[in-house]
Amino acid sequence: MKFEQFQFLMERVLEQGEGEMPAAGQVSALAQAYIGDAVFSLYVRTRLLTREHNKVHILHSYDSRMVSAAFQAKGYRAIEADLSDEEAAVVRRGRNAKSTVPKSATVAEYRASTGVEALLGFLYLDQRQQRLQELLDCLFVAIIAEVKPAGTRKSRRADQ
Which residues are tagged catalytic? 37
For 53-93, the three-class secondary structure string (H helix, E strand, C coil) is CCCHHHHHHHHHHHCCHHHHHHHHHHHHHHCCHHHHHHHHH
Residues 6+ apart with CB under 8 A from 78: 138, 139, 141, 142
Report the SS3 class of residue 130. helix
The answer to whether 120 and 136 are in contact (CB under 8 A) is: yes
The answer to whether 44 and 144 are in contact (CB under 8 A) is: no
Q: Is 52 exposed, middle or buried (0-12, 13-18, 19+ CB in 10 A)?
A: exposed
91: closest CA among 68, 69, 112, 105? 112
